[in-house]
Amino acid sequence: MNIIRKPQGTLDILPEDSIKRIFIEDEVRRIFSNYNYKEIRTPTFEKTELFKRGIGEETDIVSKEMYSFHNDEFTLKPEMTAPVIRAYIENSLYNTSGIQKLFYISNMYRHERPQAGRYREFSQFGAEAIGSSDFYIDAEMISLGINILNNFGLTNLKIKINTIGNLDERKLYLEELKKYLSKHLNNLSETSKKRLDINPLRILDTKDKKEIEILDDSPILYDYLSDETKNHFQNVCKTLEKININFEVDFRLVRGFDYYTSTTFEIISDDLGSQNAVFGGGRYDRLVEQLGGKQTPAIGFACGIERLMIILAKRNYDYPKQYGVDICFVSLGNEARDFSFKAVDVLRKSDIICETDYLNRSIKAQMKEANKLNSKYVIIIGESELSSGKCTIKRMSDGEEKEIPLETIYKINKSNLHSIV
Ligand code: HAM
């Protein structure tokens, strides 16, 4: 019979990778809590309307990439910002504190064309700070993300920041941009021609060399922004400089969501190929209102865990934790197997990681398995051990052995394990 394979663009996370992810998640949780961010979990699927209204109907994500079902009523979440804001409003989190600092680690779903670093199911960790328009929170958000990446030894990444103003500020600019690009219509790709009417800002994101040349002389959004927006941006930049963060201002940086206002940022890595953004975010001061709440400023970011792991693999990152076993029981004969099974049952309750044989293998095969499992100790039980009431415990690192009474086995715990031999 033919085998059934996983859907395209998804990943099996096998134990070897799983341990790395657990390490990353533990580190991320530790750093988020240093900044006093608290974890939030939201449903895997939401009403489709949330993403249409939150992200914007004309964005690539909403128009092409959503996994919607039950007559399009529900959608697997393609991102977390809209769900977090929905939960913030629905659970009246604004009543609990002036500013809500929330973080998440979760799977996302986008029906994109799969390629290296781009999946249909992927995971992100991210943060959202809701309730403050202070430029210090923009700087904190960027520094938080960078500190997480630095924590994994990633220091030479490119940080791009920009400010894109609000809808009103963008209006005049978009008219000018459209006018300018219409003069170059013949040299625009089909995608950009379509975007010209529905979402011209996205054209700034083009990878097409000819279009990049055309854009070189196009109007610059920054010139159309209000003094207030420009001041906010200058303050963010100055604050980042004060805390020694190297960044590049990129006036053409736009992001694929309609909710952004003011500050936007991205971190890119040359280790990633064409999907080079590992981290992206920005301010979205109108989203709470758009989703039915009171006008509330907010800012956030998300980082792709698979992309982070690709960079770490390229840089031969040394993950510290490995799976390991404290004690392997090697037993021969039915009575010995019975004894070992009871012993592991007791020891596991004392937090000793232990293993016994389930395949009725020879002593030699069981010893080989203990080596493969990286077991720190081996205890050998056979007929003679059961009749003498004593057994041998062997330290695998140097082969040192000690004879101990069988009852001693039951007294082994985390703190005395290494003093037995
Ligand atoms: P985003 O730029 O769409 O932003 O995604 C953030 C990160 O998720 C990307 O930089 C990338 O590392 C990862 N990512 C995105 N799509 C894929 C994919 N198909 N496969 C693998 N990794 C992917 C957001 O999602 C916003 N919600 C960020 C945000 C939070 N803005 C404000 N608050």
Contacts of 121 (CB under 8 A, 6+ apart): 9, 10, 11, 107, 108, 109
> 103 with 234, same domain?
yes
> 304 with 348, same domain?
no
Distance, in Å, from the CA atom of 223 to the CA atom of 164, rounded to the nearest integer, reads 10
Ligand 1 centroid–CA 334 distance in Å is 56
Look up residue 63 and give its two tokens. 């128009």
The residue out of 282, 314, 346 marking a domain boundary is 314
Assigned domain for 68 exists: yes
pTM: 0.92
> 275 with 354, same domain?
no
Ligand 1 lining (C-beta closer than 6 Å): 79-81, 110, 112, 117-119, 122, 124, 126, 128, 277-282, 300-304, 306-307
User: Measured over all CA atoms, what is the biggest interatomic distance in the chain, rounded to whole angstroms?
Assistant: 95
The residue out of 286, 314, 342 marking a domain boundary is 314
Collapsing DSSP to helix, strand or coil, 347 comes out as helix
φ and ψ at residue 141, rounded to 5 degrees: -60, -45
Element (H, E) at 340: helix 334-349
Which of 156-170, 190-204, 306-320, 403-417 is predicted with the least confidence, judged by mean pLDDT? 190-204
> 27 with 70, same domain?
yes
Assigned domain for 178 exists: no
Ligand 1 centroid–CA 348 distance in Å is 40
One-letter amino acid at 103 equals F
The protein residue with its alpha carbon nearest to ligand 1, atom 22, reads 304
> 263 with 393, same domain?
no
Q: Which atom of ligand 1 is nearest to the CA of 124?
A: 8
**Domain coverage including residue 269:** 15-165+225-314
The protein residue with its alpha carbon nearest to ligand 1, atom 14, reads 304
pLDDT tens-digit readout, 100-131: 999 999 999 999 999 999 999 999 999 999 99
> 30 with 141, same domain?
yes
The residue out of 289, 314, 339 marking a domain boundary is 314
Collapsing DSSP to helix, strand or coil, 329 comes out as strand
Element (H, E) at 52: helix 48-55
The answer to whether residue 270 scores a pLDDT higher than 90 is no
Q: Which atom of ligand 1 is nearest to the CA of 300?
A: 33
Distance, in Å, from the CA atom of 401 to the CA atom of 143, rounded to the nearest integer, reads 52
Answer whether 373's CB lies under 8 Å from 328's CB. Answer: yes
What domain count does the chain have? 2
DSSP assignments along 3-23, one per residue:
PPPPPTT-----HHHHHHHHH
> 143 with 241, same domain?
yes
- The alpha carbon dihedral of 288, 294, 299, 300 has a sign of negative
Q: Which atom of ligand 1 is nearest to the CA of 81?
A: 27
pLDDT tens-digit readout, 330-371: 999 999 999 999 999 999 999 999 999 999 999 999 999 999
> 309 with 332, same domain?
no
Assigned domain for 320 exists: no
> 250 with 353, same domain?
no
pLDDT above 90: percentage of residues in the chain: 82
Could you tell which of 8, 202, 307, 312 is best to mutate to test the pocket of ligand 1, judged by most ligand atoms within 8 Å of the CB?
Answer: 307
CATH number reported for the structural domain that contains residue 411 in this entry = 3.40.50.800
CATH number reported for the structural domain that contains residue 307 in this entry = 3.30.930.10
Answer whether 34's CB lies under 8 Å from 103's CB. Answer: no
How are beta strands 68-69 and 74-76 bridged, if at all?
antiparallel
> 239 with 370, same domain?
no
Assigned domain for 198 exists: no
pLDDT tens-digit readout, 226-256: 999 999 999 999 999 999 999 999 998 988 8
pLDDT above 70: percentage of residues in the chain: 100
